[in-house]
A and B are shown apart, each in its own frame.
Chain A
């Protein structure tokens, strides 16, 4: 764990460095954007000057996309089966065979100005967990900058539910602390430290016996979550060298959200499900769990950057010289799909939320730079991780646009000499046929999505129509992957390329019509 002492361990951006280091880091910050814009420029230039090459590349790329879809769908389907199996599994019975009484679950629930109803639903789900709640330590992490009302809500709920748990406290993260951005990271770090001082140290609970779960405030856990987490914690070879990742299902308010929001939310869930079967590519995202010991050793979550959820993984990966991973729980936690009082606001919020997620690209220069500095990580691992991250952000930003938009460029800009060729006539036909086959994968998506839906609220009318829309909504996927996938991806990478860092964490408003 020597690398924790490195001056580069908690840097956020190039501006934290000086001299040559700063220059190198800036170059690394520019790489994702350059790759993305370079790809677009290359296709545009090829379409104008070498339309035949561009057309052949597009056909080959379309076929690659089809095969990639098959590959990912296979992972998706497998994870769906595994998740169904894990939901049915009696995890409490499973852990009965193990020694687990010494373990505590520290649950951190950071919030800003979310409605009391939303917070209470989350706490209620913890109360009703099939696990000894006396072994659960709850931290309701309020923000001073959210105002007195938010703090009052926190205290009220703490008093109301304290007796259910081993302990429950409210922490109030002071506003305007130095070296912090406005965001979730500083709050959960502050609350984790407060919990250590006020609960763990006072009760003399060993840090290695505590599993921390940092949940977004809309995270409604499924009853077996903590038993499932405990079983995994006790059965992995080294629980201090791994984080634990559930599958975020954005279905708390899924029946209330508009179709585009549902598709965007479910697509995010599906991506996480696929990643659960590709462990080497899995990085912590949103609500996640890990050992308090590991967390404490690296100084909790970084306070100076947005993507605290994924950065904590990279902090631990570097601190452990590459000997750190993520255990996919294949067990769901329910969260909110984006929903605002108006449709436009909902779409705007989805974009902003996805921009924040795509801002995770800020980890690429961090890992590339620190891989350069940390000589103990094997080169193979460095190359694999860098390539995985670069490919992931590049493909998310470029591939949908390449397939759905840029594929037409050779025909439009290729000139009459190209337009007269058999290739020019075949390009749209072959692309259409390949994409038609590819979109049949959406049938699998629709089936899986339907199987994961909560029951439709009883008071809803026009039930058949709602179900029909719930199935047909998948035709929006080509739009959602561009508008809420590629565009925020390009936006984030371009900002990073130009050093226009996102300075504050945009808190996704939680809105439920029924509250």
Chain B
């Protein structure tokens, strides 16, 4: 048996070179977004765009302009929708049973991908009450035991977590003991995203925003590259990082970004924080309850209910847990 004949080798190579020359331009055009679209029975070559939807929720179903697009599983949760005609707004809906539906109208631009991230809060947010007392069986209860200590005419809670939460919400150690103080200090230092601005030197980012005295700003929160506060019951959010790293929700389109976002609510916002793990979602406390609100204002913001009672306060506690205070009762919410 002779070695592979040269003629066969050359023929094979020529065939592969032809394939390369034919298919590479097609691959490149495809990768750039070029598609042949059927528009009114006319096939035209169009430079399309796409939408990319990030999701931290599994097993979702995605709809585009009211039509089923795809189902995501547990592992692959994000969705890339391609081949979209540019310069047209598209409505993306993401649904899952037991969760509030996320819907967004997003613009699509030629050869660009419009990015977005779903906000899907469970319809029934699981909650756990933290009771002030512990009964003989070790269960939490609202009823103090006969032996309970009395402080300023009220029984002193015996549950440590409850006492810590009271102190966290009050901002001071009302049943002061040395050990509690340590715990509270520890809890405060691990608080997720809120930082106190009691420093005397004015950080550069505040100077950049023209803020002379951060102390007067209500509900001031400084993340790595974002600063936000409450102003007349509205949230003001500013990007103070590099322009090249600005997140998508500041941008209406590539190159069309603004560094300030205002969340203007009908009611007065009493307090806000960021939803743990998300820089693009506010937790907003208003008179009707606690809501999760998208920062992204490219179309109507998704507002999803977290807790619908007229609660007094909420906070992000240690380990990014959400606690709400409803009178003398405390609840931990799991989102």
Contact = CB atoms under 8 A, between A and B. Distances in A.
A278 B20 CA distance: 21
Contact of A422 (B4, B82, B245, B246): B82
A276 B1 CA distance: 13
B28 interface: yes
A64 interface: yes
A37 interface: no
Contacts of A63: 20, 23-24, 27
Given A71-B13, A277-B4, A330-B3, A416 B31 contact: no
A152 interface: no
**Overall SS of chain B's interface:** mixed
Contact of B3 (A55, A74, A277): A277
B157 interface: no
Interface in B62-110: 80, 82
A416 B245 contact: yes
B52 interface: yes
B175 to A, nearest CB: 50
A3 B191 CA distance: 81
B30 interface: yes
Contacts of A56: 28, 31-32
Contacts of B31: 55-56, 59, 422-423, 426-427, 430
Given A416-B246, A424-B113, A60 B27 contact: yes
B36 interface: no
A56 B245 CA distance: 23
A423 B33 contact: yes
Contact of B9 (A64, A277, A420, A427): A277
Nearest to A81: B1
B80 A425 contact: yes
A75 B4 contact: yes
A67 B13 CA distance: 9
Scoring A63, A330, A421 by chain B CB atoms within 10 A of each residue's CB, the highest score goes to A421
B16 interface: yes
Contact of A430 (B1, B27, B255): B27
Nearest to A426: B31
Nearest to A89: B1
Contacts of B12: 71, 74
Contact of A420 (B3, B13, B113): B113
A439 interface: no
A278 B9 CA distance: 9
A82 B113 CA distance: 52
Contact of B19 (A67, A74, A276, A421): A67
A423 B1 contact: no
A415 interface: yes
Interface in B7-37: 9, 12-13, 16, 19-20, 23-24, 27-28, 30-33
Contacts of A186: none
Given A67-B19, A279-B3, A422 B50 contact: yes
Interface in A299-352: 328, 330
A420 B1 contact: no
Contact of B111 (A71, A276, A421): A421
Contacts of B28: 56, 59-60
Interface in A53-81: 55-56, 59-60, 63-64, 67, 70-71, 74-75, 78-79, 81
B115 interface: yes
Given A60-B27, A60-B28, A63-B24, A422 B33 contact: yes
B227 interface: no
B254 interface: yes
Contacts of A328: 3
A86 interface: yes
A415 B246 CA distance: 10
17 contacts: A56-B28, A60-B24, A63-B23, A67-B20, A71-B13, A71-B16, A74-B12, A78-B4, A79-B4, A416-B244, A417-B244, A420-B115, A422-B82, A422-B113, A423-B111, A424-B113, A430-B31
Interface of B: 1, 3-4, 9, 12-13, 16, 19-20, 23-24, 27-28, 30-33, 48-50, 52, 80, 82, 111-113, 115, 244-246, 248, 254-255
The 7 closest A-B pairs by CB, nearest first: A422-B33, A426-B31, A277-B4, A85-B1, A67-B16, A82-B1, A78-B4
